[in-house]
Structure 1
Amino acid sequence: MPDFRLRVFQSVARHLSFTKAAQELYISQPAITKHIRELEHSYGQRLFERRGNRVSLTPAGTLLLTHADAVAQLHQELTEQLHNLHGEAAGRLRLGASTTLTQYVLPGILPGFQKRYPQVELTLLNGNSEQIAEAILSGQLDLGFVEGRAKNRDLHYEPLLADELVAVRRATSAGPPPEPMLLTEALTHPLVLRERGSGTLEVLEFALREQKVKLTDLQVAFYFDNTEAIKSYLEAAPEALGFVSRRALTRELAAGLLEIVPVQHLQLPRNFEALWVQGQPLSRPAERFLRYAQRQYNV
């Protein structure tokens, strides 16, 4: 098994951040620093340049990263081949998913997969759809899950689950309007939206474009990088309107904190999709996870 310190080094090198590496590996930041110092002492080389909060690889660090990635790949191939002798799925599976999927969709199926395939070591990276696509292309992930309309020709996409975005606001005593709100009226409200690069904003932007409305025409109160922040903002701002996944509203609707507002001529369906590098076969663990997820959602 490769030295765990190499995994620590790879994580810091990918993120160029000791803090993010600690979050990814679920260990403390002092532990990250300790492992890196041990590697530097072992090789007699500085691996990172540290200038204030900025971290960059030294030439020695760049060289070590190339070989550490090769070692990790060889170990993964060896693990898969050994377990393939018995038809098992095993090894490390690096998943990545956009925020809505990470928060509201995938966690519910992870325990079942882990029980069925205990030899697979799962990690899950959270980012927006654009970031997940980039991580797949750069080899940081084995399998990704995203939402949105845009497609990258270098990636292969497969459907996972249908979803819908809805307009939502703080719950009122009168309840949702009896008739769909006019789009022109809806767009007069301060809007709370997801950030650039998110599949959620992309779907909304496409739909508004069909109605001859540009994002630059909107009165945007705030852009957030996650749905939970949008919901909390809406609870504190009765005049605001947000657009989020219907799947993210179960608890708030049941508790009477938020309510869905139908908007005339604004339909926001979308699909959650799996993606990986075009023309590149999935590893056995990744293939097993994809098929397991599709069965859970009746794809």
Structure 2
Amino acid sequence: MSDFRLRVFCSVAQHLSFTKAASELFVSQPAVTKHIRELEQQYGTRLFERKGNSVVLTEAGEILKRYSSQILHLYQEAAFELGTLQDKHNGVLRLGASTTIGQYLIAPLLAKYYEKFPQVELSLLNGNTEMIENAVLSHHIDLGVVEGKKHQSGIKYVDFMDDELVAVVHVKSKLSTLNEISVQELAKIPLVLRERGSGTLEVIESALKEHNLKLSSLQIVMHLGGTESIKSFLEHSNCMAFLSIRSIQKELTTGQVKIIKINELQLLRKFWLIHLQGQPEPMAEAFMRFAFREYPKK
């Protein structure tokens, strides 16, 4: 069985659509139909039942679907090991990163990786921590980098690096006259926070519980889906936000934002490399080794 015909089958099986498979693989729909028909002729059985504009897997199709991911994994392992013999990496690596990491950490790492291994085809999915975990579980990506706590028993979490969230205001804000506040005073300050499902919000909520405070007791003006949106909002409002110290280095250097100390409230968290339980994909494992070389644990 050719590698590409199997990829065609897997794409149709995933989307249950010849049209979507054609779009994903950048081939024509007749070409997809031809590859599926050849597979059905080879095995002497139908793999899909056509129902109008949609398709469903037959019993034989379900069986092939179970084995297809294993077969493609073996193709990838073989390509990786053969490439290693020639001192080069070849293949496809599908990565995912939660929003903060994707914007401020993973991009420079990907640039360095590409410079060293230009033969590797890279893709990056961005979303909040919950979205990236679900993408790993559904096999849409090979490796993720997320923030916050461990959530899923089906995922292996590998400690990557430490991070800290800090309370930030814009220097033009009325709040910039503050230097430090108590946890109790925090409840009186208008806040703009990340959305539900983000690792940032989860860390804040967990830290507040230690002081018998709930998010509902705070003056939350708005939830926004990204750090850059929050920074822009702060510039035009008298609000405070909690952001990764890694995400505001440029603004601190240029004097655009100010960190406000909150007494007895320390917001520390982990960045995790995540993959499905068990041995990671060869390309993912190689990328992890590279990441640890670039960002060694201190």
TM-score (structure 1 length as normaliser): 0.78
**Offset at residue 13 of structure 1 (A):** 5.1
Q: Which residue of 50, 55, 58 maps to 1:58?
A: 55
Aligned residue pair count: 281
Looking at structure 2, the residues matched to 151 and 221 of structure 1 have their Cα atoms a distance apart, in angstroms, of 28
Report what 1:25 is aligned to: none
Report what 1:26 is aligned to: none
**Offset at residue 73 of structure 1 (A):** 3.6
Q: Which runs of 5+ in 2 are unaligned?
A: 38-47
Contact 2:179–2:260 (8 Å) recurs in 1: no
- Tell me the SS of whatever aligns to 1:125: strand
Does 2:119 match 1:119? yes
Report what 1:286 is aligned to: 284
Show CA shifts across 1:204-232 (max 9, x none).
01001111111222222111121111111
Assess, with a 3 A threshold, how the Cα gap between structure 1 residues 179 and 254 changes in structure 2: closer, same or farther: closer
TM-score (structure 2 length as normaliser): 0.78
Assess, with a 3 A threshold, how the Cα gap between structure 1 residues 216 and 31 changes in structure 2: closer, same or farther: same
Looking at structure 1, the residues matched to 111 and 172 of structure 2 have their Cα atoms a distance apart, in angstroms, of 38
Looking at structure 2, the residues matched to 261 and 47 of structure 1 have their Cα atoms a distance apart, in angstroms, of 61
Comparing 74-83 with 143-152, greater Cα deviation is found at: 74-83
Assess, with a 3 A threshold, how the Cα gap between structure 1 residues 181 and 95 changes in structure 2: closer, same or farther: same
Matches within 5 A, 1:84-99: 84-86=84-86, 88-99=88-99
**Offset at residue 186 of structure 1 (A):** 2.3
Report what 2:148 is aligned to: 148
Looking at structure 2, the residues matched to 119 and 256 of structure 1 have their Cα atoms a distance apart, in angstroms, of 41
Contact 1:177–1:261 (8 Å) recurs in 2: no
Does 2:245 match 1:261? no
Q: Which runs of 5+ in 1 are unaligned?
A: 22-29, 51-56
**Offset at residue 76 of structure 1 (A):** 2.0
Contact 2:172–2:235 (8 Å) recurs in 1: no
Show CA shifts across 1:16-55 (max 9, x none).
9x9xx9xxxxxxxx976984644565468998988xxxxx
% same residue: 35
**Offset at residue 75 of structure 1 (A):** 3.6
**Offset at residue 93 of structure 1 (A):** 1.2
**Offset at residue 182 of structure 1 (A):** 2.0
Report what 1:162 is aligned to: 162
Looking at structure 2, the residues matched to 294 and 35 of structure 1 have their Cα atoms a distance apart, in angstroms, of 38
Contact 1:99–1:128 (8 Å) recurs in 2: yes
Matches within 5 A, 1:93-108: 93-108=93-108
Assess, with a 3 A threshold, how the Cα gap between structure 1 residues 7 and 111 changes in structure 2: closer, same or farther: farther
Assess, with a 3 A threshold, how the Cα gap between structure 1 residues 33 and 287 changes in structure 2: closer, same or farther: closer
Looking at structure 2, the residues matched to 257 and 198 of structure 1 have their Cα atoms a distance apart, in angstroms, of 25
- Tell me the SS of whatever aligns to 2:151: coil
**Offset at residue 72 of structure 1 (A):** 4.3
Looking at structure 1, the residues matched to 219 and 70 of structure 2 have their Cα atoms a distance apart, in angstroms, of 49
Comparing 222-231 with 143-152, greater Cα deviation is found at: 143-152
Report what 1:249 is aligned to: 248
- Letter of the structure 1 residue corresponding to residue 89 of structure 2: A
Assess, with a 3 A threshold, how the Cα gap between structure 1 residues 177 and 297 changes in structure 2: closer, same or farther: farther
Show CA shifts across 1:165-218 (max 9, x none).
011112148884564112222222221111111111110010011111112222
Report what 1:271 is aligned to: 270
Does 2:290 match 1:296? no
Matches within 5 A, 1:97-246: 97-172=97-172, 176-177=176-177, 179-237=179-237, 239-246=238-245
Assess, with a 3 A threshold, how the Cα gap between structure 1 residues 282 and 68 changes in structure 2: closer, same or farther: closer
Assess, with a 3 A threshold, how the Cα gap between structure 1 residues 208 and 112 changes in structure 2: closer, same or farther: same
Show CA shifts across 1:109-139 (max 9, x none).
2122122223322111111111111211222
